[in-house]
Structure 1
């Protein structure tokens, strides 16, 4: 089994951190690697960033499909491009926000999300509603540390830990969800410090994808997630044109 973790930003030091988190929960015999797109933002902290990250994500999905990857993790808490990736991948694609929120509901009656910047809180609330976990989500809190500062700020770990401690007290929740892939290495430390379960979406999504592949399950293609209708794409997106791919598939089926 080969699982690929896609860090939608182009910061490779963060990709390495994400890869370590994913590999720490990999089953024996499962290959897990992490990649960053060659195009896109250095970090994702706005709707603009999310939109411009999607072409790079889909390019990595296309590469993975050519290499025979069995399933994918999207390692950004906004789950950018998740639906589009599911249309293009043969195997399951799981976003870390969805995996983390669903996992948290197995561990307690309620959870709180602790994320990076306050401007991203609305996106987390939207995803909780989309994934049907909004009743369990008691609050979304920001530690006001930019994504790229998670690695460089000397007090980032303690600020995040304190934000998690305060979220539990304010929301009277049972579980903490870390709202950024760049926090993946803090899970054990924060959990021990606050005395409550802390969910890292990278690890949760990796385990989820492993389970789906092991069960022989993949995204349904009979409706919305069927392969997109082939058409021309112009300008900078011309390489995403699917007409040639559709012609190849039709030729193979006719043999």
Structure 2
């Protein structure tokens, strides 16, 4: 069974980080990582998502034509998810979608810690559209740009951990969802700091595809 992880942005190192996490999380599947080289370097808000959609959908069509057994949209904004799902002949899921549904299946109330404030409205709209409002407390911006997760990982991790701790203290939640694909780099640091659950959306999506395909 082959699952294609498609990164809608053009940062190859982020694709590789997601691919490695997916392989660790669902070793029974064969994963490939594809990068949208015509997409923006990072997706931070609705404008970047719109710019990323067309080249992403081309890759979705290509993956479907290649008889992929499943496709993961590797952006927490679930970029062009509905269009991609309608286009492909196989299951297509977004990493944000997978994380929300995982929390809901565990009956966990969650907050999301994402990157910049520009991403907050997109994520909030996705949560509402996917019917997850009863489980959602708050979407928090850490102030960390997406590319800083790789360029300044220590500083980025500290800022994300601080915001996650604030969510734990103030949001009356059971779990924190890390709201960016690039946060695979900081999952363990955040997890070790919290008394509640830390949800990695890339791992959720990989495990979800394991039973879907």
**CA distance in structure 1 between the partners assigned to 2:212 and 2:12 by the alignment:** 27
**CA distance in structure 1 between the partners assigned to 2:36 and 2:118 by the alignment:** 24
**CA distance in structure 2 between the partners assigned to 1:75 and 1:165 by the alignment:** 25
Q: CA deviation at 1:40?
A: 1.3
Return 2-11 or 77-86, whichever deviates more.
Answer: 77-86
The corresponding residue for 1:155 is: 155
- Is the contact made by 1:17 and 1:184 (CA closer than 8 Å) also made in structure 2? yes
Q: CA deviation at 1:66?
A: 2.8
- Is the contact made by 2:149 and 2:185 (CA closer than 8 Å) also made in structure 1? no
Instruction: Normalising by structure 1, report the TM-score.
Output: 0.80
The corresponding residue for 2:139 is: 140
The corresponding residue for 2:27 is: 27
User: Structure 2 matches for 1:175-186, cutoff 5 A?
Assistant: 175-186=175-186
The corresponding residue for 1:55 is: 54
**CA distance in structure 2 between the partners assigned to 1:136 and 1:192 by the alignment:** 23
The corresponding residue for 2:73 is: 74
SS at 2:77's partner residue?
A: coil
The corresponding residue for 1:87 is: 86
Segments of 5+ residues of structure 1 without an aligned counterpart are: 214-255
**CA distance in structure 2 between the partners assigned to 1:66 and 1:212 by the alignment:** 19
Q: CA deviation at 1:195?
A: 2.0
**CA distance in structure 1 between the partners assigned to 2:159 and 2:107 by the alignment:** 24
Greater C-alpha Rg: 1
Root-mean-square deviation over aligned CA pairs = 1.3
Q: CA deviation at 1:145?
A: 0.7
Segments of 5+ residues of structure 2 without an aligned counterpart are: none
**CA distance in structure 2 between the partners assigned to 1:107 and 1:162 by the alignment:** 25
Return 130-139 or 175-184, whichever deviates more.
Answer: 130-139
SS at 1:4's partner residue?
A: strand
Q: CA deviation at 1:108?
A: 4.5
The aligned length equals: 212
- Is the contact made by 1:104 and 1:176 (CA closer than 8 Å) also made in structure 2? no
User: Structure 2 matches for 1:163-178, cutoff 5 A?
Assistant: 163-178=163-178
**CA distance in structure 1 between the partners assigned to 2:109 and 2:73 by the alignment:** 24
The corresponding residue for 1:236 is: none
User: Structure 2 matches for 1:170-209, cutoff 5 A?
Assistant: 170-209=170-209
The corresponding residue for 2:102 is: 103
The corresponding residue for 1:64 is: 63
